[in-house]
Each structure stands twice: as structure tokens, then as C-alpha cells.
Chains A and B, each alone.
Chain A
Amino acid sequence: MKRRSPRLRIAASPCHSFKWGMKLAKDIRIGVFVCDCGSNIAGYLDCPSIAEYAETLPNVVFVKENLYTCSEAGINEIKDAIKDENLNRVVVASCSPRTHEPLFRESCAEAGLNPYLFEMVNIRDQCSWVHMQEREEGNEKAKDLIRMGVAKATLLQPQEPIQSEMDPKSLVIGGGISGMTSALALANRGYQVYLIEKTKDLGGLLRNLSKLAPSNIDAKELIAKQVEAVKNHKNIQLFTSSTIKEIQGYIGHYDVTVSTNGTEEKFGVGVIIIATGARVFKPEGFFNYDGKRVITQFELEALFKSKKFKSKNVVMIQCVGARDEERKYCSRICCLTAIKNGIAIKEQNPEAKVHILYRDIQAYGTENEALYQRSKQLGVRYIKYDQEKPPEVLDNTVKVYHHLLGRELELEQDLVVLSTPLIAGEDNEELSKLLRVTLDENKFFLESHVKLKPLDFATDGVYLCGNAHYPATIREAISQALGAASRASIPLAKGTMTVEPIVSVLADEEACRGCGLCVALCPYGALEIAQTEKGRKVRVIPVACKGCGICAATCYVHALSINSYTDQQVEEQIRAFLSG
């Protein structure tokens, strides 16, 4: 494997005569655990030879190969070795620190070793998995990685977690069904909630809907019930016609400024739930949309509500402005809306004809599929169309190519209803910047982990639910809202926050000139400039810091440093790599 470029060699020339392998730190006793990860690692790398190699590294006094280091048996081996072998540094060469570092750290702590004297080396995701076909080179790379890990471990220093008090109040942004449900769930647990709604009324999109499915209750009724509960709850303070002006701070300590018709109010909260919902896409330019004869499902709901609906031949077209080049995503709920409204039309007038032209009917699950089948029983007709051969809306008919018949049909119509997707809220970008949370490519809010943390953001203390996240049914929105409240209540219930000490520190106060470059670049608002006896100096807010290292990398006087990733430690790693 070619891995030493001449340039790198020159870069390392100041320590040219330095032989890393000869440097034996005093009293450092490192234990290295090499994980087979079943066959995930051992299937592609020669773990016994890697373990053997680890034994030859300086300061390493104990090496063990495990089938699964993360299994209870593996964990016990780490703990026993710490005690029996008097280890004061532990290196695990296994999978991703993202999933397993906390576990290994905790295990060290349980055995009485400061958890920050632990170093993890990823020989799976970045080695065995990507070099499945190159066993030899993979082995060498694993050895390099372990040598580097050991080098860094030698210089690790004990750290203590940072504790911070939690403000027990919470902020819920958005007063639709999701926001109201979240607010009520938190309020019922006894937490003070500020609920902010942009418009003058609570209820969100539901305000414009008629009947809901499959519950068959009036949307109005559901909202009324929730609104009443919210308004009467002693733990909820409601702000309507209000917008978020400013949010500063971090989990446990957010300072929020809300503007209500120009009047500003400030308060503090510990956690924030985003429940800002979504908008309905208006299909200007699609299928002769005019809002009268060709309308959206949303507008059809309004016709139902005002009892003005009288059409006898309704043709609905699905995926209008969705699953196309501009918006690739499926909006999840439009098929269900069409099915529900098809049923509503047939129930009102069994003689009326309803045709739904679709690409795939997304009636997933038990209730939705049952609804779909019921609509068919009631006589709603479904015709599949091809994206390449879309229907054509004419004055009194809709032309569509019928697959099974193999010819074009012309359906009579006195109303065409377009099923359009939900699109991201217009304020999402602004809010995402205020809270430093991420959006997806369609500007919906993006959760921290699609499977394991569907209601959390990467930024601690901020949670999401409902249409702000992705189009959802009412059942799903309620469920997510309760879930987000549950997630938010965890730090609230704990009362104090414990934060990883891998944060930025002002290691060299003398050097700092208070230039503020780092403050401007910090994406988490974790730095500020303070006037001290020694002049303008930067100050770190450890609870807000994520340890990303931008500040340390930027600081041209090397005043800032990241715990457990100090320049010295990283340089030592590089040297170890070059000395292989």
C-alpha cells in the first residue's frame, strides 16, 4: 500500500530523527482490545496477527482479541484487565465511536479508570468494510490505525464531565395538532410550556379540513377539544399571532424573544420542540389549475365545509407536483386524502362518479388499506397512469391512458381535483438558522438519525414532530408529538445536564488576543468575547460546545484547544503513522 507521499515526509521533517516507537512514556500502561465483530472484521482482516502486532507497540502491556468487545463478556474482559493489569489507558479497535464509544467509556469508568483515558480505533467501517477485497492492505491499515490510536492514548489526560443546570421550562413552536399535543403532554407532566403560534388561531392545517379519516370525526371538533385544553391549562402560556424574534443559548439555557404584533417578550426555556407544520403546494400551471373547475384537495375540503360541493363527475389526479423532477419525494398523505374525499363524495351522493388517477396508491398499514378497500366498495374507481403518459385535462373531460384496456379513455368531469404534496414551511430556513438545526433537500427539518433518533436533532435540546419533519397523518402527528414531548422531558426530568468534556478550552490565555475570529465561526454559539483583567479574551460556553474544533483550527495563535484532541495528541498520531 502506497501511503507515504514525499511531501508528507518533508512536512514531518522536524522530527525526522524521531523514532516514535522508541518513546516509552513512564508509567503508561495501555490495554488494546481487538474486536472481531463476529465476521464483520475477522471475516476480512487477520485479527490474531493484528492483536499480535499491538503487543509490540510501546506502552502496551495487555492485548486481547474478542469475538464481540461490546458484548457483556467483552466488556467484562476490559474491566478485569483494567484491574488485574493495572491499565491506565484503554484502546478498543472495533467499530464506530458514534455507536459504541459511550459504552466503552462507561465500562472504563465502572472499573475505576477515568473514561477519557479511552481511545477508540475504527477498524470496521473505515477498514474491514471498505477493504473487503484487499486483505493484506486492510491488515496493514488496521495496524497503522491501532499504532496511531496507541500513540494518542499515551498522551490522553483525564477529564471530568461538565455539569449544568436545566431551565425546567419548554418552548413549543407551532400551534397545530402536533404542537398542541406536545404542549399538553409536557404540561400534564407538570412542566411550564410556552406555545407559540404564528397565526391568530390554533389548529394549523386542520382548520381547513372537514371530516377526518379513519376516525370520521369533524376536524373542527378535534381542534376545539385540543384548543380548549391548551387554553385552560395552567402550565401552558399561549402566544398567538406571534413569531420567534431571537433564540440564543443552548440546551438548558435558551433565551427566547417572541414578538406579538410588535410587542416583544423575553423568557428562558431549557428545551424546544419544533412543530411548525407544512404548507400545501399550489399547482399553478399544472393540469389547467384555476381554483374553480380544477382545484386542489385542500380546496375541495373547503367546498365540503361550506356545503357548496355539488359535482357529479369528479376526477382526481394524484402526484401533482410530487414524485417529479422538481420534488422527488412522495408526500405520504395525498393518496389517503383522495381516498377519504372519494368516500365523502360517494357517501353524500352515491350516484356521483369518482375516478382517482394514480401512480401508486400509498394506502400503507391497516387502517389506510381498509379505507382504500372501502372506497372501492362504495364505487370509487381507480385508474393507474404512467408518469410518461400523464392525464390530459380538457374542458369537460379528462383523457387518460388505461393500462389494462390498452387504450385511452375519456372521462366526463364537472370537477377535477389535484392531489398536491405538502411542502416545507416558508420559515423553515430562518428557524433552522436560529436554532442551528438541519434541513433536508426539500427544506423539511432533518432528524438526528433516521432510525434511532427520529424525533431529535443533532443539536441537543431541540426536538421535532409532525409535518415539520415530513408529511404525516393525524395519527402519526399525534404519536410523534407525544414522542417529542417524551424526548424533551428526559433532560427536564433529570434537572441537570451532563455534557461530554470534549470541548474547546482556552489553553493559552496569554496568547489570546480577543480577535473574535473564532466567535464568528462557531456554529453553535459556544464562544463569546469577554473583557477580563488581561484584556479582551475569548470565553467558552462548554455546555453549548460540540467539540467540532473549528475554533481551535482557526485560532492563529493556538490559544484554543480541544480536550482529547489537542495539537500535541494529533501530531503524535501523525508521527506514529509516519513512523510505521
Chain B
Amino acid sequence: MLDAGRHSNINLLAYSEVEEVEGEVGSFKVKVRKKARYVNEDLCTGCGACVEKCPSTVEDEFNIGLGERKAIYKYFPQGIPSTHCIDAENCRQLGQGKKCGICAKVCQAGAVDYEQQDQLVDLEVGAIVLATGYDVFDPSVIPEYGYGRIDNVVTAMEFERLLSASGPTHGHLDRPSELALRAEIAVLDKDLKKATRQIEKLEEKHGKKTSKFLKEFKAGKAGEDGDFERWATLAEKAADTEKNLAPLKKREAAAQTARKLAFIQCVGSRDFRFNRFCSSYCCMHSVKEAMIAHEHDNETTSSIFCMDLRAVGRGFEEYKLRGGKTANILYVRGRVAEITEDKAHNPIVWYESTTSRRVEHETFDMVVLATACVPSAATPKLAELLGLELEENGFFKTDPLAPLDTTRAGIFVCGCAQGPMDIPESVAQASSAAARAAEVVSMAGEVAVGGS
């Protein structure tokens, strides 16, 4: 990534969108909207002082809502270009009309620019490569899997963030139900602290302990003072909060990281209700995630529920077998029918085992949904803009014998924008698309469509 950012032949337009494409192979004219990030890229050193001081906190999309970020932020630490961006909607100064300006004040480089506007950039190019990637299928449309309703049912992408050493849990498999519990405790703790502080002030002012005051107050012997009503309410509230906190804290103390995992394959793929196709890479990422979870904690066991376990690359089958032998992975052939939840927030997986020919159920600590790879939301719009056909599943259409060529000469597509594939295939395809683009440019008009 950094290489691409530093290459003298690459002009990187990040946070930008293509608005118009005219012309034909050899001489396309492209209009690109470079969106205002309210930070001058050339001046920003990426030091992050602004992030530290920014008062607005929002959910962090990169950690899929499992963590938090500020309104001025970097999408992820190693992002290129290494600069920041203000999320105008959540910024006090830009979006909420409040006086703030803290980031501009702390920025020593003077890079924050609240007046920055979108810029339109005109490009002239000979060929275009689409590498627009994919979206992850939203499993909340499958009600029987309970995603969104059952805390400890997560997507593979969320699970990746939990597994990541630089993720929200530093690689420990803390269950989302426990994360929610901790967040709840933190809120109550904060309330309690605030109330306690106020109570202490009152105690000092009136020179008596709250317990004594309450006794007098209830007996109507406290006398008259503007503070007393408030004091009594505060005391009551503090006592309530404390009472509520106790069981939560007890639960938190007993909480353990997830050790018994279930992976559900083909969530949204090979499913005629949603996508008929196979997403190619999910079998392997489930095996990988189960392996990493086991590496992190040797007591972890995983069950992978699948129809076929598709391990088709070099070393994949061997890796799968190794997982079974050394990482406590059990491969269960059967499609999961439903996921329910018990009182301790443990998901229960109901499935038909094709080996025992019975409906079985099993309780797990956490369930990971291997969600489908679907065309990115903007694909239809981009296809229209570029005048390209999509295939039946909504990916950019290519020909099996000209695998990088779209339906328009001079425009090529690689990676998951043309269908689900794993990293090696995407990287190989990226080179292939570059080859086709170079071929077209160097033959300047001589060739048109077709790699073969």
C-alpha cells in the first residue's frame, strides 16, 4: 500500500469518486470528484494530535462498530495517504454548528481547513482498470440466524477484528455480550461517580454524613434547606445504581473469553433466497480463523458447519486437515437451520447432521457467520456511468476466455469486482489487468476487445 502511495508513476486520488467518463479506448476523459476532507493532505503530517483532542466520539466503522473513533480520524492506522479527514456530519464545528475548532488549534502544521471544498479533477487516460472490490453480505436479513438480535452471533469480518492484535479487544476473544456488559457497567459507573461527587460536596457543606442526613430527612427532622430534596434524590439514585451494578459486576467477573466456537458457512451464498453463487474464499477463512483462535488460546474448539468444505488452492486441503488434527477443528456436514440463545447469552446452533441423519443442537460461546461476498453497493451506478454490463449476480461481466475484459473496450476489471476470489487470485489478476491495459495503450487503437 505504501509502495503504491510512494511510487513516482502513481498519482493517488484517495477519498475520490469517478463522476463522468467519456471517450474510448486509448483516449478516455475522466472527471473525478476529490471530496473535501477538511484537512490539507500536503500539510498534514499524520501526527494525530487532532484525534487526541477531538471531543466528538463515534462508532468506528473500521472495527465494525466494536470500537470508537473521533470525528477527525484516520480510517485505519497504516492508511495511505497518511493524513486525516473530518467526518463533517459528526463534527461539532462543521456538522453541528457549534463552536469548536479544537483540531485547528492543536494542529501545528496548520493543516485543518474547515472551508475546504470538493475539487473536480480531469484526467486523460488510455485504459481504465476497475478494482472496486466487494461488500460483505448483511446477514440480518436471515432472521433465523439471529444476527443483530443475538449478541454472540458475529460476522467473519467482526470476528477478524476481535482476533486482531490491534483490534478492539487486542486479539482476545471477548464476547460481544460481555463487551456490551462492560459498556453498560462503564455508563453506570460514570453515573455513580458523578452522584457520589455531588453527594460528597453536600456532606461537606452541611457537615454530616448522608446516612445520618437521610435518617433525619425521612423522619422530617432535617430542617429546611434548598439542597435537601436534591440530596435525598441523589442518595436514592446512587443507592439504586449501586444495587444495579452489583449483579452486572458479578457477571463480568465470571465472564470468560469465547472458547467454543461455531462457524456457519454459506451465509447468504449458495442460498437461492439471496445469492446462488459460492463466495469462494469463506471456507478457507473460517478454517484460518479457527486456527488463529486456537493459536491464541489452545483450549479453543471450533465446529465448522458446511455443505462442501471448498479447499481448492495450493496447500489448502493440507491446511484444512492440519486444522482438524492440531487445532481442535471439527468439520460438520450440515446446513444450520436456526440459531437460538440461552439465558447466559450462549448461542445454540440447530442443524441437520447428514451423518447421523438427525436434527441436532449444540450450545457454543460464539457463532461466526461466514457471510457472502456480494457486489459492492455502488457497482450498478458505476456500471451505468461506464456503460458496462453486469452478470446475473451483479458483478462486472467478463468472458471466461478474456477474463479481465469488461464489455467495453479499454476497461478492465480485476479482483472481487468481477466475482468472489481469494487474495492470490486477486493479486495475480491485478497483474493481468495491468497487462491488458498496457497492451491496449501500447497498441493504441489497434486491438479492441478480447484477450484471446
Residues of A within 8 A of B (CB): 38-40, 43, 67-68, 70-73, 76, 103, 106, 181, 185, 188-190, 212, 214-215, 217, 222, 225-226, 323, 328-330, 332, 360-370, 373, 384, 403-404, 406, 440, 444, 450-455, 469-470, 473-476, 478-487, 489
Known: A71-B46, A487-B431. A475 touches B318 (CB 8 A): no
Q: List 30 A-B contacts (CB under 8 A).
A: A67-B48, A68-B78, A71-B46, A71-B77, A72-B2, A72-B46, A73-B46, A73-B82, A189-B438, A215-B399, A362-B312, A363-B278, A363-B308, A364-B310, A365-B277, A366-B277, A366-B393, A367-B419, A369-B276, A369-B277, A370-B392, A403-B357, A451-B424, A470-B313, A470-B314, A475-B401, A478-B402, A479-B404, A479-B429, A483-B435
Which B residues from 225 to 281 make CB contacts under 8 A with A?
270, 276-278, 280
Which B residues from 292 to 331 make CB contacts under 8 A with A?
308-318, 321
Total CB contacts across the A-B interface at under 8 A: 188
**In the complex, what's the smallest C-beta–C-beta distance from A382 to chain B, in angstroms?**
10
User: Complex Cα distance A360/B429, Å?
Assistant: 26
Decide if B434 is an interface residue (CB 8 Å cutoff).
yes
Decide if B420 is an interface residue (CB 8 Å cutoff).
yes
Q: Determine the chain B residues whose CB is within 8 A of the CB of A212 once the complex forms.
A: 400
Contacting pair B314 A444 (CB below 8 A): yes
Q: Determine the chain B residues whose CB is within 8 A of the CB of A403 once the complex forms.
A: 354-355, 357
Q: Determine the chain B residues whose CB is within 8 A of the CB of A329 once the complex forms.
A: 314-315, 317-318
CB within 8 A of B401: which of A70, A217, A363, A406?
A217
User: Complex Cα distance A444/B429, Å?
Assistant: 20
Q: Determine the chain A residues whose CB is within 8 A of the CB of B438 once the complex forms.
A: 189, 486, 489
Beyond A72-B81, A364-B280: 11 further Cβ-contacts under 8 Å? A188-B442, A328-B321, A330-B311, A360-B308, A364-B312, A370-B392, A440-B314, A451-B427, A478-B403, A483-B432, A489-B438
Q: Which among B48, B400, B428, B434 has the highest number of chain A CB atoms within 10 Å? A: B428
CB within 8 A of A482: which of B46, B78, B270, B435?
B435
Contacting pair A40 B313 (CB below 8 A): no
Q: Which among B312, B436, B442, B452 has the highest number of chain A CB atoms within 10 Å? A: B312
CB within 8 A of B428: which of A39, A367, A384, A483?
A483
Contacting pair A486 B314 (CB below 8 A): no
Contacting pair B318 A474 (CB below 8 A): no
User: Complex Cα distance A460/B390, Å?
Assistant: 38
Which B residues from 123 to 182 make CB contacts under 8 A with A?
165-166, 170
Q: Determine the chain B residues whose CB is within 8 A of the CB of A451 once the complex forms.
A: 423-424, 427
Decide if B289 is an interface residue (CB 8 Å cutoff).
no
User: Complex Cα distance A476/B310, Å?
Assistant: 17
User: Complex Cα distance A242/B11, Å?
Assistant: 45
Q: Which among A39, A70, A366, A455 has the highest number of chain B CB atoms within 10 Å? A: A366
Decide if B122 is an interface residue (CB 8 Å cutoff).
no
User: Complex Cα distance A487/B317, Å?
Assistant: 28
CB within 8 A of B427: which of A226, A454, A469?
A454
User: Complex Cα distance A189/B404, Å?
Assistant: 17
Q: Determine the chain B residues whose CB is within 8 A of the CB of A440 once the complex forms.
A: 314-315
Q: Which among A40, A217, A365, A368 has the highest number of chain B CB atoms within 10 Å? A: A365
Decide if B110 is an interface residue (CB 8 Å cutoff).
no
CB nearest to A373 among chain B residues: B276
Decide if B421 is an interface residue (CB 8 Å cutoff).
yes
Contacting pair A474 B401 (CB below 8 A): yes
Q: Determine the chain B residues whose CB is within 8 A of the CB of A487 once the complex forms.
A: 431
CB nearest to B306 among chain A residues: A360
Contacting pair B400 A367 (CB below 8 A): yes
Contacting pair A215 B400 (CB below 8 A): yes
Contacting pair B308 A361 (CB below 8 A): yes
CB within 8 A of A39: which of B165, B321, B402?
B165
**In the complex, what's the smallest C-beta–C-beta distance from A578 to chain B, in angstroms?**
33
**In the complex, what's the smallest C-beta–C-beta distance from A427 to chain B, in angstroms?**
20
Q: Determine the chain B residues whose CB is within 8 A of the CB of A450 once the complex forms.
A: 314-315, 424
Q: Determine the chain A residues whose CB is within 8 A of the CB of B443 once the complex forms.
A: 188-189
Q: Determine the chain B residues whose CB is within 8 A of the CB of A473 once the complex forms.
A: 400
Contacting pair B428 A454 (CB below 8 A): yes
Q: Determine the chain B residues whose CB is within 8 A of the CB of A384 once the complex forms.
A: 333, 354
**In the complex, what's the smallest C-beta–C-beta distance from A324 to chain B, in angstroms?**
10
Known: A39-B165, A73-B47, A373-B276. A185 touches B404 (CB 8 A): no
**In the complex, what's the smallest C-beta–C-beta distance from A207 to chain B, in angstroms?**
16
User: Complex Cα distance A371/B403, Å?
Assistant: 17
User: Complex Cα distance A537/B391, Å?
Assistant: 65
Q: Determine the chain B residues whose CB is within 8 A of the CB of A323 once the complex forms.
A: 317
**In the complex, what's the smallest C-beta–C-beta distance from A404 to chain B, in angstroms?**
6
Contacting pair B391 A404 (CB below 8 A): no
Contacting pair A365 B428 (CB below 8 A): no
CB within 8 A of B317: which of A106, A328, A367, A454?
A328
Contacting pair B165 A486 (CB below 8 A): no
Decide if B451 is an interface residue (CB 8 Å cutoff).
yes
User: Complex Cα distance A72/B80, Å?
Assistant: 8
Q: Determine the chain B residues whose CB is within 8 A of the CB of A370 once the complex forms.
A: 276-277, 392
Q: Determine the chain A residues whose CB is within 8 A of the CB of B424 once the complex forms.
A: 450-451, 454
User: Complex Cα distance A44/B404, Å?
Assistant: 44
Decide if B389 is an interface residue (CB 8 Å cutoff).
no
Decide if B215 is an interface residue (CB 8 Å cutoff).
no
User: Complex Cα distance A479/B392, Å?
Assistant: 21
Contacting pair B280 A38 (CB below 8 A): no
Contact with A along B55-86 (1 / 0, CB 8 A): 00000000000000000000001101111000
Contacting pair B434 A486 (CB below 8 A): yes
User: Complex Cα distance A474/B398, Å?
Assistant: 13
Contacting pair A486 B82 (CB below 8 A): no
Decide if B119 is an interface residue (CB 8 Å cutoff).
no
Q: Determine the chain B residues whose CB is within 8 A of the CB of A68 once the complex forms.
A: 77-78
Q: Determine the chain B residues whose CB is within 8 A of the CB of A454 once the complex forms.
A: 424-425, 427-428
Q: Determine the chain B residues whose CB is within 8 A of the CB of A453 once the complex forms.
A: 427
User: Complex Cα distance A369/B312, Å?
Assistant: 14
Known: A76-B45, A181-B452, A370-B276. A478 touches B401 (CB 8 A): yes
Decide if B193 is an interface residue (CB 8 Å cutoff).
no
CB nearest to B280 among chain A residues: A364
CB within 8 A of A189: which of B5, B78, B423, B439?
B439
Q: Determine the chain A residues whose CB is within 8 A of the CB of B428 once the complex forms.
A: 454-455, 479-480, 483
Decide if B364 is an interface residue (CB 8 Å cutoff).
no
Known: A181-B452, A367-B419. A190 touches B442 (CB 8 A): yes
Which B residues from 412 to 452 make CB contacts under 8 A with A?
419-421, 423-425, 427-432, 434-436, 438-439, 442-443, 447, 451-452
Decide if B351 is an interface residue (CB 8 Å cutoff).
no
Decide if B6 is an interface residue (CB 8 Å cutoff).
yes
Contacting pair B400 A214 (CB below 8 A): yes
User: Complex Cα distance A329/B46, Å?
Assistant: 46
Decide if B395 is an interface residue (CB 8 Å cutoff).
yes
Q: Determine the chain B residues whose CB is within 8 A of the CB of A185 once the complex forms.
A: 435-436, 439
User: Complex Cα distance A462/B180, Å?
Assistant: 53
User: Complex Cα distance A481/B403, Å?
Assistant: 11
Known: A444-B314, A450-B424. A222 touches B401 (CB 8 A): yes
CB nearest to B269 among chain A residues: A369
Contacting pair A362 B403 (CB below 8 A): no
Q: Determine the chain B residues whose CB is within 8 A of the CB of A364 once the complex forms.
A: 278, 280, 310, 312
Q: Which among A38, A67, A373, A384 has the highest number of chain B CB atoms within 10 Å? A: A38
CB within 8 A of B442: which of A43, A189, A367, A476?
A189
Q: Determine the chain A residues whose CB is within 8 A of the CB of B45 once the complex forms.
A: 72-73, 76
User: Complex Cα distance A43/B436, Å?
Assistant: 45
Q: Determine the chain A residues whose CB is within 8 A of the CB of B419 once the complex forms.
A: 365-367
Q: Determine the chain A residues whose CB is within 8 A of the CB of B333 once the complex forms.
A: 384
Q: Determine the chain B residues whose CB is within 8 A of the CB of A404 once the complex forms.
A: 354, 357
User: Complex Cα distance A226/B450, Å?
Assistant: 12
Q: Determine the chain A residues whose CB is within 8 A of the CB of B83 once the complex forms.
A: 72
Q: Which among A68, A212, A486 has the highest number of chain B CB atoms within 10 Å? A: A486
Q: Determine the chain A residues whose CB is within 8 A of the CB of B355 once the complex forms.
A: 403
User: Complex Cα distance A479/B424, Å?
Assistant: 12
User: Complex Cα distance A364/B282, Å?
Assistant: 10
